[in-house]
Amino acid sequence: MENTILSGVHQAIGNTPMVHLSRLTENLDGNIFAKLEYLNPGFSKKDRIALQIIEEAEKAGILKPNDTVVELTSGNTGTGLAIVCGVKGYQFVAVMSKGNSMERARMMQALGAEVVLVDQAPGSPIGQVSGEDLAKVEEVAQQITKERNAFRADQFHHMGNIHAHEFRTGEEIWKQTNGKVDVFLDFAGSGGTFTGCAKTLKKYNPNIRCYLVEPYTAPFYSGKTATNLNHKIQGGGYSMDLPLLDKNFVTDYIHVTDEEAIRVARELARKEGIFAGFSSGANVAAALQLLKGKEKGANIVLTINDSGLKYLSTDLWPT
pLDDT for the residue 234: 86
Contact 51, 163 (CB under 8 A): no
Tell me what percent of the residues of the chain surpass a pLDDT of 90.
85
Contact 161, 168 (CB under 8 A): no
The tens digit of pLDDT for each residue in 202-216 reads 999 999 999 999 999
d(CA 93, CA 110): 13
User: For the ranges 21-35, 218-232, 259-273, which has the lowest average pLDDT?
Assistant: 218-232
pLDDT for the residue 101: 81
DSSP tag of 35? E
Q: How confident is the model at residue 131 (pLDDT cuts 50, 70, 90)?
A: confident
* Catalytic choice (35, 45, 46, 310): 46
Query: What number of residues does the chain have?
Result: 319
Q: CB atoms < 10 A from the CB of 301, how many?
A: 27
Averaged pLDDT, 160-181:
98
Average pLDDT, the chain: 95
d(CA 286, CA 186): 9
Residue 2 has pLDDT above 70, yes or no: no
pLDDT for the residue 252: 98
* Catalytic choice (239, 279, 280, 307): 279
The tens digit of pLDDT for each residue in 12-61 reads 999 999 999 999 999 999 999 999 999 999 999 999 999 999 999 999 99
Contact 188, 231 (CB under 8 A): no
Residue 277 has pLDDT above 80, yes or no: yes
Contact 112, 79 (CB under 8 A): no
The tens digit of pLDDT for each residue in 70-117 reads 999 888 999 999 999 999 999 999 999 998 888 889 999 999 999 999
DSSP tag of 19? E
pLDDT for the residue 170: 98
* DSSP string across 100-163: S-HHHHHHHHHTT-EEEEEPPPTTPPTT---HHHHHHHHHHHHHHHHHTTPEE--TTT-HHHHH
- 146 noted as active-site residue: no
Stated pTM of the model? 0.94
- 203 noted as active-site residue: no
Q: How far is CA 196 from CA 15, 144, 218, 221, 268, in A?
A: 16, 29, 23, 17, 25
pLDDT for the residue 229: 85
| CA pseudo-torsion sign 168, 171, 177, 180 | positive
Q: Which domains does the chain have, with CATH numbers?
A: 9-39+169-311 (3.40.50.1100), 46-152 (3.40.50.1100)
